Structure 1
Amino acid sequence: MNLQQLHHFVALADTRSFSRASEVVHVTQSALSRSIQMLEQELGMPLVDRIGKSNELTPLGTQVLARARHIVQEAAELRRAATLMAGGAAGTIALGMGSAPGALFAAPLMTHLLRSHPQVQLRLLGGAPELQIAQLRARQADGLVITYRALPPVDDLQFEVLPALRSGFVCRTRHPLAQRPRLRFEDLRAYPLVCTQVSDDAARTLIERYGERAHPQPWIQAASEDVGALLRTVAATDAVFLGVVAAARAQLAEGGLHELMPTPDAKLQAQFAFVTLKGRAESPALQVVRDFCRSLVRDALAGQIPPP
């Protein structure tokens, strides 16, 4: 048997049709039929029951399909790895990125690639975590930068958990609370809260620090995955933003926004992860992106992250 025969068999199993499978693998229907027959002869038993226009896998065919699919995928990854290594740190990277990590990573990453790696083309993909994971599995994305708590416990994903970043409260510079020398939680609670989805861990931390009135659900006036929209709302109203402080770095540096520091400190943290498909070859270009994300988090922790 050979790889081509296995590839033909997987196509037939997926389509259940010799005519459609021949179109998928770009051979004539007679050539596909001969290929399947040769594979069956070598294995000594039929793989497909041909009943009229219906083509159903035999018990042996079902067993062979799982192994054949794995072999075909591994061969494709070998070819891809060789192509990527030959190309060096170049090519197109499709990177899934949620709104919260996007507010931190997107602009600095694009700037870095344009300045230091102009041969790398970047496509940022948005959407809910479930959609991004589906895109990764379908190989429509090379990697994801996603909120760690949004990751399901699955075996086919490989993730690098990045260091936790400080979360806190942010308001406009001319907000009534901005000039308070000592800020209590009750002062914060008097103003509407805007944020992305608050995790159960963050909600528990708030309640432990400040009591039951700190439960975010009845307090939240507006919620969105668009962090940029939330920060623009805060800049124009008396609402208070709750989220990763580094996401507001540009507005904080320009003086348009102000970080509120209630007593006691909430000690909230957010954590992101760099996610790839387990077993998939990683291109040098994706490694450049991964390394930059690591360095950006380190800079944020050191307070040295530049505005975009």
Structure 2
Amino acid sequence: MDLPRLRHIVAVARNQSFSRAAEEVGITQPALSRSIAAFEQRHGVTLFDRGRGGVYPTAAGLHVIEQAQRLLHAAGDLERSLKRYPQGEPGQVSIGLGPLMAGLFLPQVAGSLLRTWPGIRIRTLVRAPDQLVTELLNDRIEMILGNNWNLGRIPSTEIERLGRIGVAFMVRSGHPLAREGPVSSADLEDYPTASVVELQDDGLRDRAGCFICDNFHVLRETVLRSDCVWMSSPAFLADDLRDGRIVQLDVSGFAPAHSDVCLITRRSRTRSPTAAAVAEEIRALLAQAEA
């Protein structure tokens, strides 16, 4: 398809006049008529009916005009994104995240990028880690944001450490364990646990029950409405901790724990400006959380 010729067709349809369309696209009317006629002859269709009242698309013309508008719109998007690349301006990115990372980072990262880079397109995929690897290797996402999985061992991938987050045992305010002083691991075993899919071993037995959910916000609401014990990140529950809705437990025998946050990409692939912006945004959030 010849893009200039498609522009000629769309211009005639928009103006319902060959003379006005020719003026719009900056060529003579005879040249515009020859362009339309060449398309009609090549494809064996008639695009427009000409009459005293103007120029009107035929059924075939309507079909061509609709498809031409889509092609021209896509070509314009491509041209605009390529113009941004030399300046390192983000365009679009597809990110895979595990449930925990989505709950911790996605609202902050999306909000910041949308404010900083007007027009940016962010597509996210929240799934279990093994499913995300398949999406990455099939080029359906550009990168995976995760905690310290062993994804770096998978062939054709690279892992970059962005920072770390602290993790601790959390309960609602008013929970029987929300008292001053340390509690024991035996005390924890009397209460159900809340966990995301990624936390396969949180060190607790489940004799009191458990609630496993891959939605961070649902877990938070569940903990606020039950006696569940939740191992989560103090940095990203800062508002709840400050306002007293959630309490961090001091558990005897459990030293302060941290989880590395990593970016997993395909090996030897050039990172897009948008992917680089995402990585830097998360790095800055982690640095702020660790400060």
Give the TM-score range, shorter chain.
0.5 to 0.7
Task: Map 1:124-163; keep pairs closer than 5 Å.
Answer: 124-151=124-151, 153-163=153-163
- Report the Cα distance in structure 1 between the residues aligned to 2:256 and 2:137, rounded to whole angstroms: 35
Amino acid paired to 2:192 = P
Identity %: 22
The question of 1:236 aligning with 2:215 is answered no
- Report the Cα distance in structure 2 between the residues aligned to 1:198 and 1:145, rounded to whole angstroms: 13
Give the direction of change, closer, same or farther, for the CA distance of 1:232–1:264 in structure 2 (3 Å limit).
same
Amino acid paired to 1:299 = Q
Partner residue of 2:172?
172
Amino acid paired to 1:294 = R
The question of 1:293 aligning with 2:251 is answered no
> Which deviates more, 129-138 or 96-105?
129-138
- Report the Cα distance in structure 1 between the residues aligned to 2:198 and 2:105, rounded to whole angstroms: 20
Partner residue of 2:100?
100
- Report the Cα distance in structure 2 between the residues aligned to 1:266 and 1:196, rounded to whole angstroms: 21
Partner residue of 1:88?
88
Displacement of 1:220: 5.3
Give the direction of change, closer, same or farther, for the CA distance of 1:197–1:161 in structure 2 (3 Å limit).
same
Partner residue of 1:193?
193
The superposition leaves residues 50-88 of structure 1 with CA deviations (integer Å, 9 ceiling, x where unpaired) of xxxxxxxxxxxxxxxxxxxxxxxxxxxxxxx97773363
- Report the Cα distance in structure 2 between the residues aligned to 1:230 and 1:112, rounded to whole angstroms: 24
Give the direction of change, closer, same or farther, for the CA distance of 1:195–1:299 in structure 2 (3 Å limit).
same
Amino acid paired to 1:271 = D
> Which deviates more, 185-194 or 153-162?
185-194
DSSP-derived class of the 1:161 partner: strand
The question of 1:123 aligning with 2:123 is answered yes
Displacement of 1:190: 2.0
DSSP-derived class of the 1:95 partner: strand
- Report the Cα distance in structure 1 between the residues aligned to 2:235 and 2:99, rounded to whole angstroms: 13
Count of residues in correspondence between the two structures: 211
Give the direction of change, closer, same or farther, for the CA distance of 1:88–1:162 in structure 2 (3 Å limit).
closer
- Report the Cα distance in structure 2 between the residues aligned to 1:83 and 1:129, rounded to whole angstroms: 34
- Report the Cα distance in structure 1 between the residues aligned to 2:82 and 2:90, rounded to whole angstroms: 14
Partner residue of 1:274?
263
Amino acid paired to 1:143 = M
DSSP-derived class of the 1:149 partner: coil
Task: Map 1:66-77; keep pairs closer than 5 Å.
Answer: none
Amino acid paired to 1:193 = T
DSSP-derived class of the 2:191 partner: coil
Scaled by the length of structure 1, the TM-score of the pair is 0.61
Displacement of 1:144: 1.1
- Report the Cα distance in structure 2 between the residues aligned to 1:250 and 1:141, rounded to whole angstroms: 32
Displacement of 1:217: 5.1
DSSP-derived class of the 2:127 partner: coil
Amino acid paired to 1:165 = I
Amino acid paired to 2:272 = S
Q: Is the 8 A contact 2:100 2:198 kept in 1?
A: no
The question of 1:256 aligning with 2:245 is answered yes
DSSP-derived class of the 2:154 partner: coil
DSSP-derived class of the 2:283 partner: helix
Pairwise CA RMSD of aligned residues? 2.5
Q: Is the 8 A contact 1:195 1:220 kept in 2?
A: no
Higher helix share: 1
- Report the Cα distance in structure 2 between the residues aligned to 1:218 and 1:197, rounded to whole angstroms: 18
**Considering only CA atoms, is the larger Rg found in Structure 1 or Structure 2?**
2
- Report the Cα distance in structure 1 between the residues aligned to 2:263 and 2:248, rounded to whole angstroms: 27
Partner residue of 1:42?
none
Amino acid paired to 2:100 = A
Amino acid paired to 1:293 = I
Amino acid paired to 1:300 = A
Q: Is the 8 A contact 1:162 1:272 kept in 2?
A: yes
